């Protein structure tokens, strides 16, 4: 009797602890965004709705070089080589400095446009780059350590304050920490080896959740993603061609929804302490049934 009661309360405490930890983690979710105002060559970093720091930056030599719009940080690289002149990363001659925050601007995927350091501090605050956003090395190191991948970056030319820019562009409403494809079933093109973009991130994220490792979620449809896709297709009796067309996409969505339902169902295991009569003896029904699963 005592042993059953002890076991029951131990499991109950464990169950409540898991829910508390999950709730606490969700309440601590961090949201971030960056605004770069080319009119004043300043970068503002926001976290959880508050302006944390403002940095002086350098932008394009002409107005059209640094793209304007809303982008995502899709790559984070320490000591990126300067491939154009074969200068290794970390070399004092490297004009990219020691940190690279790649943006998915103008159809690229973090390989062309970026927020990065530099080896010419006197250029900061001026219009000097070929399109990237330059920062002082020590300041881009700080930003690199604090900003998350997939954070929204708004590049704009405006006379408004950072606060007004953020409000006008609905930046306070966005969750920067999640890969979002609003309607995966509406992905218009097939995804395959060599594809890049947010749709590939969704694919990698979904496959990973279903237990198929893609060697990371980075938006690049490389060998790891190709192998995961083929394994998923083989396990589900699809044509094993590595091409993610509508048939594969719909099945991925279905499997993900099924997994979600199973996860939710697990949380509906519950204990009841109601006293009932059994053969004239008052007992709690937990002593009769143990853990009960609610069907819904």
- The pLDDT of residue 201: 79
- The pLDDT of residue 190: 85
Range from 148-157, 197-206, 248-257 carrying the lowest mean pLDDT: 197-206
- The pLDDT of residue 7: 58
59 touches 129 (CB < 8 A): yes
- The pLDDT of residue 12: 52
Most confident of 10-24, 139-153, 272-286: 139-153
Which domains, ranges and CATH numbers included, belong to the chain? 33-173 (2.40.440.10), 180-266 (1.10.101.10)
Q: Is 90 exceeded by the pLDDT of residue 291? A: no
- The pLDDT of residue 220: 76
State pTM to two decimals: 0.57
Distance CA 91, CA 257 (A): 48
Q: Is 60 exceeded by the pLDDT of residue 175? A: no
Range from 36-45, 86-95, 189-198 carrying the lowest mean pLDDT: 189-198
Residues of 195-234 as b/e, b for ≥16 C-beta within 10 angstroms?
bbbbbbbbbbbbbbeeebebeebbbbbbebbbebbbebbe
Residues with a catalytic annotation lie at: 116, 132
Please report where in the chains the tokens 């930890």 appear, as a residue: 21
The model's pLDDT over 58-107, given as tens digits with 9 standing for 90+, comes to 999 999 999 999 999 999 999 999 999 999 999 999 999 999 999 988 87
The model's pLDDT over 213-235, given as tens digits with 9 standing for 90+, comes to 887 776 778 888 999 999 999 99
213 touches 227 (CB < 8 A): no
Please report where in the chains the tokens 């297709």 appear, as a residue: 233
Nearest CA to 152 out of 101, 199, 77, 118 is that of 101
Q: Which two tokens stand for residue 182?
A: 């609003």
Q: Is 70 exceeded by the pLDDT of residue 177? A: no
Q: What is the mean pLDDT of residues 180-192?
A: 61
Q: Is 50 exceeded by the pLDDT of residue 203? A: yes
pLDDT class for 1, splitting at 50, 70, 90?
A: low
């Amino acid at each position: 009797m005592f042993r059953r009661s002890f076991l029951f309360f131990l499991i109950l405490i464990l169950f409540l602890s898991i829910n508390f930890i999950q709730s606490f983690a969700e309440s601590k979710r961090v949201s971030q965004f960056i605004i770069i105002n080319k009119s004043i060559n300043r970068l503002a970093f926001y976290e959880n709705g508050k302006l944390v720091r403002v940095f002086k930056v350098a932008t394009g030599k002409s107005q059209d070089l640094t793209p304007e719009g809303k982008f995502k940080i899709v790559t984070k690289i320490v000591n990126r080589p300067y491939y154009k002149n074969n200068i290794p990363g970390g070399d004092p001659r490297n004009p990219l400095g020691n940190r690279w925050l790649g943006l998915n601007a103008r159809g690229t995927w973090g390989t062309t446009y970026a927020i990065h350091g530099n080896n010419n501090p006197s250029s900061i605050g001026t219009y000097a780059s070929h399109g990237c956003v330059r920062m002082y090395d020590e300041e881009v190191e700080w930003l690199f350590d604090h900003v998350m991948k997939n954070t929204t970056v708004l590049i704009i030319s405006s006379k408004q304050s950072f606060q007004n820019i953020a409000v006008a562009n609905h930046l306070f409403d966005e969750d920067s920490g999640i890969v979002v494809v609003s309607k995966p079933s509406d992905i218009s093109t097939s995804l395959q080896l060599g594809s890049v973009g947010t749709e590939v991130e969704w694919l990698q994220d979904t496959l990973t959740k279903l237990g198929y490792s893609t060697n990371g979620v980075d938006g690049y449809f490389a060998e790891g993603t190709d192998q995961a896709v083929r394994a998923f297709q083989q396990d589900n009796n699809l044509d094993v061609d590595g091409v993610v067309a509508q048939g594969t996409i719909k099945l991925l969505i279905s499997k993900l929804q099924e997994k979600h339902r199973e996860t939710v169902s697990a949380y509906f295991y519950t204990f009841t302490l109601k006293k009932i009569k059994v053969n004239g003896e008052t007992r709690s029904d937990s002593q009769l049934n143990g853990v009960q699963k609610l069907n819904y």
